[in-house]
Amino acid sequence: MPHVLRDANGDIIAVVERECPGPTEEVPADHPDFLAFVGRSAEDGEGNHEAFSRADLDFIRVLEDLIGALITKGHLSLNDLPAEAQRKLLNRNAMRARITSYELGDEDADFLV
């Protein structure tokens, strides 16, 4: 259980992993004060930061698929992108190909770019 330090108003101002010298208090991880401090609510079970990061990852996949579709349809060439963008896109596609081929048991998985 986390240990918290509270201010004079009783609000949590710090969280530590284990008990330390000073006026800390052990609280359960689902305590409303603790959840509020770390930016989570008891209802959603996750912080805004985590949800936003997951949305970013989902959106990155959309952008990858969009770029791939534009290249496949001939509306965009990989060479139209800056060299650094080309490198990042190719590296990510190669990683996705390895993961997909591993999951599917297919060593010859092809991707758009």
Is the pTM higher than 0.95? The answer reads no
* C-alpha of 112 from chain center: 24
Residues contacting 12, CB < 8 A, separation 6+: 4, 5, 6, 33, 34, 36, 37
In a domain, residue 21? The reply is: yes
Which pLDDT belongs to residue 102? 65
Over range 6-11, report the average pLDDT.
89
Q: Are 40 and 46 in contact (CB under 8 A)?
A: yes
24 shares its domain with 66: no
Domain count, the chain: 2
Judged against a pLDDT cut of 50, whether residue 113 lies above it is answered with: no
pLDDT in tens, 75-106: 999 999 999 999 999 998 888 888 876 666 55
Q: Which residues contact 40 (CB under 8 A, 6 or more apart)?
A: 46, 47
How much is the average pLDDT of 30-42? 76
Q: Could you read off the pLDDT of 11-32 as tens digits, one per residue?
A: 888 888 777 777 888 888 888 8
Within a domain: 109 = no
Q: Are residues 32 and 69 in the same domain?
A: no
Kindly state whether residue 61 falls inside one of the protein's structural domains.
Answer: yes
Residues 15 and 61 in one domain: no
Question: Residue 78 sits in which domain range?
Answer: 48-104
Give the count of beta carbons closer than 10 Å to the beta carbon of residue 25: 14
Are residues 23 and 56 located together in one domain of the fold? Answer: no
